[in-house]
Amino acid sequence: MPFLEAMGILYLTPNMITMWLIGLLLIYLAVKKQYEPLLLLPIGFGIIIANLPEAGLMKPDTGLIWLFYHFGIEWEVIPPLIFLGLGAMTDFGPMLAQPRLIFLGAGAQVGVYVTFFVAYAFMGFSLKEAASIGIIGGADGPTTIFLASKLAPHLLGAVAVAGYSYMAMVPFIQPPIMRLLTTDAERRIRMKKSRKVTQREKIIFPITATIVIVLLVPASAPLISMFMLGNLFRESGVVGRLSDTAQNALMNIVTIFLGVSIGATMDGDHFLQKQVIYIFLLGLVAFMASTASGVLLAKFMNLFTKNKINPLIGAAGVSAVPMSARVVQKEGSRVDKKNYLLMFAMGPNIAGVIGTVIAAGIFLTMLQ
Amino acid sequence: MAEKVLAPLAGNIWEILVKVGDKVQEDDELVIIEALKMENPVYSPCDGVIKEIKVSKGEQVQEDAVLMILE
Amino acid sequence: MEEAFKVFVNGFAGVFCGMAILYLVIKLLSFAAGKAEKSGE
């Protein structure tokens, strides 16, 4: 009977079932632990449906999820749209108020390059693959996906899952490193008050920043321009509807397509290789190195400045917004409960996003 | 001697933990300000009595806004 | 290996250069459009 011969169950392989378990694990982490549920939940489900035999959801040209993937990610539409929403959510105020702290956002990109180098030199990844893995250290999901889809699409799933998992684990990964690298006295440093930022500055900033960054690193244009456009929507104060749509409705729509198609790139035969374990290891190294380099740069800057920087803030240079800023606040208040570092940490945190985009742009320029 | 309690950071007034006339000691929690989905307690700068509360629950405050006056 | 090194060095230089330029932009902005009386640093 043709119906019986076409049954998917006849084509089931052990790899597929292993992938279901991985998908279920991500769904579990999303539901039970609330680890980045907006992404890990659809990713987990995407993994399961991509590993159903004969379903053809990822079949080129006709598969439903393949179409999402092709037009959303391969065409580079979704990551910039997410950046549009992020821009509309972001208040550059803390960064504008403390410009020197943006260097911490650059400092935390050190982890990106260290990991890139390690992955290439010692783990046998190609340059393009190593770049896609290193960028995990930037702790910026859409940028990671943007870069990996261009340089190493076959690693996209693993890189994205590693990135988002570690982002969810920022509250566990960062504090031990922060404590190790700072003294009690340093953690107690109270920062000097920020100046007030005017609305005019906030409106002009996204425009000038777009111009200078794109002039410097043209390959960062898709992400930076959308990020800043979203921010201009927000700060202009005259297009509340656009700002609202960008950060809510549109963001949610593209997140659905992003999550499920990332998940669906992970078919068992390609995913289940020891490379993936290396990616997860390297991703963790990247996160730790970025945290450490941010903290160390803050300590280094303290050698030259009169107004001391609390080095905990350096850890916020990784762009996990606002998780790492919250971690900084928590660690600071452990030793001095009246020390409010949150808003100071937001500066490097947001600068970290820009830093990661620039880093991705440079990888693209040099490796594509 | 009236002492002003200032907002240490911008955010939403999440909870007000004291009433006018309450006696507080230094470092008691007075208000919780929510910023970036994080609850930040504001502590009393000194011992005293709450004379006036200038904010209400749910209100958006800027950094350095006067939250309450102690006496 | 040589290329990896090149990417490594360029990447570093690029990111810090980008941030330095942003720093200047922000500084200029604060002079041009910010309130001059209260300087943060």
- pLDDT tens track for A106-138: 999 999 999 999 999 999 999 999 999 999 999
A-chain residues near B41 (CB < 8 A): 337
Q: Is residue A34 assigned to a domain? A: no
DSSP state letters, A144-205: HHHHHHHH-GGGHHHHHHHHHHHHHTHHHHHHHHHHHHS-HHHHTPPPPPPPPPPHHHHHHH
Q: Is residue A136 assigned to a domain? A: yes
So what's the pLDDT on residue C37?
47
- pLDDT tens track for A252-281: 999 999 999 999 999 999 899 999 999 999
Average pLDDT, chain C: 86
Nearest to C12 among A95, A113, A121 (CB): A113
Expressed as residue numbers, the domain containing A118 is 61-367
C31 at the A interface (CB within 8 A)?
Answer: no
- pLDDT tens track for B6-65: 999 999 999 999 999 999 999 999 999 999 889 999 999 999 999 999 999 999 999 899
Q: How many CB pairs under 8 A join A and C?
A: 126
C-chain residues near A209 (CB < 8 A): 22, 25
- pLDDT tens track for A188-228: 999 998 888 999 999 999 999 999 999 999 999 999 999 99
When pLDDT is cut at 50, 70 and 90, the band that residue A240 belongs to is: very high
Which of these, A320, A22, A355, A21, lies nearest to A158 by C-alpha position?
A: A22
B-chain residues near A329 (CB < 8 A): 38, 40
Nearest to C1 among A106, A121, A366 (CB): A121
Choice among A147-161, A311-325, B1-15, C25-39 with the minimum mean pLDDT: C25-39
Q: Per-residue b/e over A276-301, b at no fewer than 16 CB within 10 Å?
A: bebbbbbbbbbbbbbbbbbbbbbbeb
Interface test with B, best of A338, A344, A350 (most B CBs within 10 A): A338
So what's the pLDDT on residue A2?
83
- Sequence-distant (≥ 6) Cβ neighbours of residue A246 within 8 angstroms: A84, A85, A87, A88, A230, A233
How far off is chain C from A207, nearest CA to CA, in Å?
Answer: 11
B36 and A325: CB-CB below 8 Å?
yes
**Cross-sheet strand order for the sheet of B66-70:** B3-6, B66-70, B48-53, B23-24
Which of these, A123, A152, A121, lies nearest to A135 by C-alpha position?
A: A152
Number of residues assigned to chain C:
41
| Amino acid at residue number A230 | G
Instruction: Determine the angle formed by the axes of helices A78-89 and A221-236, rounding to 10 degrees.
Output: 30
What is the C-alpha to C-alpha distance for residues A63 and A95, in angstroms, rounded to an integer? Answer: 44
Q: Is residue A103 assigned to a domain? A: yes
Q: Is residue A157 assigned to a domain? A: yes
The mean pLDDT of C22-36, rounded to a whole number, is 89
- pLDDT tens track for A309-333: 999 999 999 989 999 999 999 999 9
Average pLDDT, chain A: 95
A-chain residues near C15 (CB < 8 A): 106, 109, 355, 358-359, 362
When pLDDT is cut at 50, 70 and 90, the band that residue B2 belongs to is: confident
Give the number of domains in chain A. Answer: 1
Q: Is residue A196 assigned to a domain? A: yes
Q: Is residue A3 assigned to a domain? A: no
Which sign, positive or negative, has the C-alpha torsion A238, A242, A245, A247?
negative
Interface test with A, best of C16, C21, C24, C26 (most A CBs within 10 A): C26
How far off is chain C from A357, nearest CA to CA, in Å?
Answer: 9
What is the C-alpha to C-alpha distance for residues A331 and A294, in angstroms, rounded to an integer? Answer: 15
Under CATH, what is the fold of the domain B3-70?
OB fold (Dihydrolipoamide Acetyltransferase, E2P) (2.40.50)
So what's the pLDDT on residue C41?
41
- pLDDT tens track for A35-68: 999 999 999 999 999 999 999 999 999 999 999 9
So what's the pLDDT on residue A109?
94
C-chain residues near A106 (CB < 8 A): 15-16, 18-19
C-chain residues near A212 (CB < 8 A): 21-22, 25
Q: Is residue A207 assigned to a domain? A: yes
How large is the ipTM?
Answer: 0.92
Q: Residues of chain C with pLDDT > 90: what percent?
A: 73
Q: Is residue A100 assigned to a domain? A: yes
- pLDDT tens track for A74-111: 999 999 999 999 999 999 999 999 999 999 999 999 99
C15 and A116: CB-CB below 8 Å?
no
